[in-house]
Structure 1
Amino acid sequence: MFSVHLSEIPRTISFRTALMFLALFGASFLALFGYIYWQTTGYLITEVDTALHREIDRQTALPPVLRQQEIIKHTAQDSEDRLPYTLFDAQGAPLYGALQALPPLRKYQRPEEFMWDKPNGHQRPVRFLAHRLDDGTTLLIGQDIHDIREFDELLVNALISGGVLLLLVGFIGAIALGFSARRRLDILSRSIKKIVEGDLSGRLPTRGNNDDIDRIATVVNGMLDALERLMSEVKGVCDDIAHDLRTPLTRLIAGLERAQRRNLTQGEYANAIDVAIEDAKGLMQTFRALLRISEIEGSARRSHFIPVDLNKISADAVELFEPLAEERGMTLAFTPCSRAATVSGDSQLLFDATCNLLDNAIKFSPDHSEVEVTVLADASHCAISIRDRGPGIPESEREAVFRRLYRGESSRHTPGNGLGLSMVSAVARLHEMTLKVDDAEPGCRIDIIGNAQRV
């Protein structure tokens, strides 16, 4: 397994990125070290040349006799021949000084270098300056630069060893990064494979450091949450359809079979047909509601969102349901918000969702009771809050009531198809709103909360 991972490491982005930065850092290191080397050696050689020129000028200013005495004295004192002074005649033969021959000379008054073969058999690099005197002799002032050459060699060796160490450590680091990335990708791949094989409860592992892979894994996990929810809803819908639609279909078929077997009058046949049509219309209404929810969840209308005033939406819904409330002696109390309560959304969908909540509130509230509709807003959020005086929703069912075709025990004998709150939930998800169900003591309170939009 390790060999397989090792062979795949060069294909990882982390390894290639590390190599790229290693190359950039290596080039920067080479440029910086080259600059330091150039500046240092240049400075040392310049100091040597300055000293040579200064000594030539000083010796030139001396009288010939004094110059001779000083060169002889200097040669005797310079036992290591670090600063060879020599005076040559017009033919290049040494008169007095440390050197036995005039080195190759291209031009006077210009610093040059040569390798000095000393009497003890050693060779030393010497940088010198030659000056022709008025009497035709040549004065040569030199300086041993062996230490400078050793320093240059040390710098070059440091550059080479440092560069090799840099490349080695960088390459090992790149392999480590590539191996770590490959191992993490293998873990993600295995997790994805399990999910593809049917384990929709699985999620991609994260480290919590919010790096690139963590952010991608978080987004994918959110997508998997949505997929699991949708698959659960599909399964729940299939189960609920089989359970809840079986009864009206059985009743419809049984009524038609009875009408077929019995010798009915024309009026009885017409009545049986009317009952069958009503049952079929109820089924069609259920399927239309299911299709409507699917259309909303498809987010096809999100591109048409505009600023929507929740005060106006709520006022229109209250006005629409006031006659129904009056028939049962109920009161619809509407409290608008004193400030702007604007969200980005589809006004028709938000109106339909509010109407569904109001319809449920009136349907499950006793006669002569009160339903309150309140619009709330602050700097960041807006909400429509609807409170009734009905039996309420048990805490154990507050999530289930938003599933398609789900009906609680308290609503089994109430007309409806169990899709109203499912449609409200779909609208809330489309608008990235939050649905909150609370106990109103007595009754139920449902808030649909969205992000406020500045107009």
Structure 2
Amino acid sequence: MFSVHLSEIPRTISFRTGLMFLALFGFSFLGLFGYIYWQTAFYLKAESDTALLRQVDNRSRQTPELREQEIRKHDMQDVDGRLPHSLFDEQGKLIAGPIDTLPAFKAYDKPDEFRWDKPNGRTRPIRFMVHKLDDGKTLLVAQDMHDIHEFDELLVHALVSGGCLLLVVGLLGAIGLGYSARRRLDTLSTSIKQIVEGDLSRRLPTRGNRDDIDRLANVVNGMLDELERLMSEVKGVCDDIAHDLRTPLTRLIAGLERAQRRGLIEEDYAVTVDAALNEARGLLLTFRALLRISEIEDSARRSNFAEVDLNRIGADAAEFFEPLAEERGMTLTFEPAPSPAILAGDAQLLFDAACNLLDNAIKFSPDNSHIRVCVAGAADGPCLTVSDDGPGIPETEREAVFRRLYRSESSRHTPGNGLGLSMVAAVARLHDMTLEVRDAAPGCEIVLRSASR
């Protein structure tokens, strides 16, 4: 279990993202609720004003006697003063109605508001309209706005309580996201520390939901796989160099020491020097091959990639090795694909890889045998196959043969430095291709296949 301090949570990206969305939803909530409140308040006031205008119009159509009579009757019926109507004379004195004083107003036939102190001691908000009648008297119609104001307050309280709930839930969600992200990052950090301390077999944990962290972890794990492979190869190369180069160096030193101890004639010295030069050239060729593989694996030659036809590569390689095969009585056949087998790559490197496969096939096959080069196009990518009638490669060594300087016991006395298939593997990795060793019964079959895109 991991302990996550609260002080660490605000520094996580998930927490800050949660806060950002909380602010976004908060502003959206305020905007939406404000719009609803404004529309509702505007609608209620507009309905109230329309009702006041209708009442003014109805009272204006009545005769003076009927109007006064109806206002007195309305006053008796409207006990709570919900819709008070009052009538004033030319001097502003009350004739009939519950509102005994004409309130201050801005203009006739325009709605306005004031606070009405009722006889029962309560103060109520009143929206009213004043109209000048034809007989010179003043008509006041009004509506109690207490319920509408209470509704407005209810909306405001709902806005405040909803905003507080949104804030609390959003903060808790952001804290939860930050806590989860921090724990996951702690898990990744622990794995990375173990890798830094030397455990290259360790991998970053993933949840399998293919989120951003999973995608990053998969990329890092792929990098660690490649790093582990390279470290293993480096260790294997060091061991193989110590094992395979020890013999030619020993022969070189022994020959020079013999020449130093013995009194040799000039011809013997020349023979000894020639032998030493041959051993040195062999060592130099080995190191050049190692540098060539390193250059290929550096991927610097990807800039030279262009469309390449494997048919052309296979035909050129087969033509190049045909004289060597004829010297040993071998039959070298080439079978092209019926249509162009196009892939993106470096033509020279692919040619070198095909030549190394053919060189191995000829080197390890008996005289008068059959070597086949085949190019095929398939849905999963074009491929080049080289097969022979030689002794084949044991299944236990089919992965090891692609290591640098690796040579099986059966090929120890065969000329070579054990770097041919390593170079082919390097070219395959550079081109995102796969190498597969199969049993040709008899012989060996190696398939260089382009991965499908």
Provide TM-score, normalisation by structure 1. 0.96
> Shift of the alpha carbon at 1:17?
1.7
Q: Which moved more, 1:334-343 or 1:169-178?
A: 169-178
**Cα distance in 2 between the residues matched to 1:434 and 1:344:** 14
> Shift of the alpha carbon at 1:264?
2.5
% identical aligned pairs: 70
**Cα distance in 2 between the residues matched to 1:359 and 1:67:** 122
- Is 2:52 aligned against 1:64? no
**Cα distance in 2 between the residues matched to 1:215 and 1:395:** 35
**Cα distance in 1 between the residues matched to 2:3 and 2:409:** 61
2:156 aligned residue: 156
**Cα distance in 2 between the residues matched to 1:192 and 1:381:** 36
1:28 aligned residue: 28
> Shift of the alpha carbon at 1:198?
1.2
1:434 aligned residue: 434
1:268 aligned residue: 268
- Is 2:75 aligned against 1:53? no
2:242 aligned residue: 242
2:221 aligned residue: 221
| Kept after mapping to 2: 8 A contact 1:343/1:451 | no
> Shift of the alpha carbon at 1:3?
8.3
Aligned length: 453
SS in structure 2 at match of 1:301: helix
2:445 aligned residue: 445
1:277 aligned residue: 277
> Shift of the alpha carbon at 1:221?
1.1
> Shift of the alpha carbon at 1:329?
1.0
| Kept after mapping to 2: 8 A contact 1:328/1:367 | yes
1:339 aligned residue: 339
2:400 aligned residue: 400
SS in structure 1 at match of 2:5: helix
> Shift of the alpha carbon at 1:381?
1.0
4+ residue runs over 3 A deviation: 1-5
1:370 aligned residue: 370
| Kept after mapping to 2: 8 A contact 1:390/1:443 | yes
Structure 1: any 5+ residue segments left out of the alignment?
none
Letter in 2 for 1:378: A
**1:51-450 aligned within 5 A:** 51-450=51-450
**Cα distance in 1 between the residues matched to 2:180 and 2:91:** 76
**Cα distance in 1 between the residues matched to 2:119 and 2:388:** 117
**Cα distance in 1 between the residues matched to 2:93 and 2:188:** 85
> Shift of the alpha carbon at 1:74?
1.1
Letter in 1 for 2:40: T
**Cα distance in 2 between the residues matched to 1:440 and 1:5:** 63
**Cα distance in 1 between the residues matched to 2:322 and 2:12:** 66
RMSD: 1.6
> Shift of the alpha carbon at 1:93?
2.1
Letter in 1 for 2:294: S
Provide TM-score, normalisation by structure 2. 0.97
> Shift of the alpha carbon at 1:2?
8.3
| Kept after mapping to 2: 8 A contact 1:330/1:369 | yes
What CA deviation, in whole Å up to 9, does each residue of 1:120-155 have, x standing for no partner? 111111111111112222111111111110100000
Letter in 1 for 2:324: L
> Shift of the alpha carbon at 1:92?
2.1
**Cα distance in 2 between the residues matched to 1:29 and 1:307:** 57
**Cα distance in 2 between the residues matched to 1:423 and 1:392:** 19
| Kept after mapping to 1: 8 A contact 2:4/2:182 | no
SS in structure 1 at match of 2:300: coil
